[in-house]
Amino acid sequence: MSNTDRASLAARLQAHILEHIPLARAMELRVARYDGAELELGAPLAPNINDKGCAFGGSMASLMTLAGWGLLELALRAHDIECDIYVGDSQLRYLEPLWGELRAIARFAQADALDTFLKTLSARGKARIKVLCAVAGGERDAATLEAAFVAKMR
């Protein structure tokens, strides 16, 4: 898949999210980058601030969950597969306050997991995959997410 195709998929993903998920609109979410292995979502601080003036934990959780969901959505669209994707068990760590823009970067937990996932999905109509996601902070991550996502063929 070419860089142009990936950019087009990413643009369509952003339009889909903003059209169908009102909270993503409220967060002013944007798809920042997709290279086939990683998906980066961004959001400005102002609509995602908490009462202490730093990023609201719920906004970081939402952005990371959408980054993981979007990463799998894009991988499936790249293979022309139509699925409903649901987030499953998630482990969130909040490591340090974030005082600026939110940037969440998602990748699959294992580099070769997508092949197995696609084979299982094709055989059983349902499959599960693990995603790692982090919100970039100052010197280290501000928050991280480990989450399972389940795809079901429509």
Chain residues in the site for a copy of itself (CB under 8 A): 16-17, 20-24, 26-27, 46-52, 56-59, 61-63, 65-66, 69, 84, 86-94, 97
Q: How far apart, in whole angstroms, are the C-alpha atoms of residue 19 and residue 34?
A: 20
CB of 131 within 8 A of CB of 109?
yes
Q: 133 - beta bridge partners?
A: 106, 145
Minimum distance, C-beta of residue 3 to a copy of itself, in the bound complex (Å): 26
Within 8 A by CB and 6+ apart from 35, the residues are 6
Question: Which CB, 61 or 106, lies closer to a copy of itself?
Answer: 61
Minimum CB–partner distance for residue 19 and a copy of itself (Å): 8
Report the nearest approach of a copy of itself to the CB of residue 16 (Å): 7
Q: Name which of 35 and 86 has its Cβ closer to a copy of itself.
A: 86
- Secondary element (H or E) of residue 14: helix 3-20
Nearer to a copy of itself, 23 or 109 (CB): 23
Closest by CA position to 142, among listed 82, 59, 77: 59
Which residue, 59 or 111, is less far from a copy of itself as judged by CB? 59
Rounded to whole angstroms, how far apart are CA atoms 87 and 97?
A: 25
In whole angstroms, the minimum distance from the beta carbon of 60 to a copy of itself comes to 10
